[in-house]
């Protein structure tokens, strides 16, 4: 008699984000990312011009030196990677939209008001 076997294959997702805050990735937005990252078992690596950071380490994130509009490549790997990536997409300090598109939307919203 054969027993059913299930194998869990860790998944990996990569997405490009842009820093939204006009002061860049300083302590407050970095702490938001750390709060999100530590809630998941997945490994979350963030690559920017300043190198690679572990999203679960605030010091690592701050050392990226990411300014407003900086492009960050985020890779999430592990059993709960999809959920972690969705949580990062909802972070207020990051956007999947290029800064020029963000500016156009802000101008359009201001004109509508």
Burial class (CB in 10 A: 0-12, 13-18, 19+), 85: buried
**In sequence order, what are the residues at sequence separation of 6 or more whose Cβ sits closer than 8 angstroms to the Cβ of residue 65?**
24, 25, 48, 49, 50
Closest CA to 13 of 90, 75, 56: 75
Please report, to the nearest 10 degrees, the dihedral formed by the alpha carbons of residues 84, 75, 26, 32 taken in order: 0
- Residue tagged active-site, from 15, 26, 69, 70: 26
Known catalytic membership, residue 98:
no
Active site residues: 26
């Amino acid at each position: 008699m054969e027993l059913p076997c299930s194998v869990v294959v860790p998944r990996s997702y990569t997405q490009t984000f842009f820093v939204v805050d006009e002061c860049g990735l300083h302590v407050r937005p970095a702490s938001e990312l750390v709060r999100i990252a530590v809630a998941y078992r997945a490994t979350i690596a963030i690559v920017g011009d300043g190198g690679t950071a572990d999203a679960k380490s605030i010091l690592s994130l701050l050392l990226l030196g990411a300014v407003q509009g900086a492009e960050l490549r985020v890779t999430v790997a592990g059993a709960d990677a999809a959920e972690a990536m969705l949580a990062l997409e909802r972070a207020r300090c990051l956007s999947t939209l290029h800064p020029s598109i963000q500016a156009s939307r802000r101008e359009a919203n201001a004109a509508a008001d």
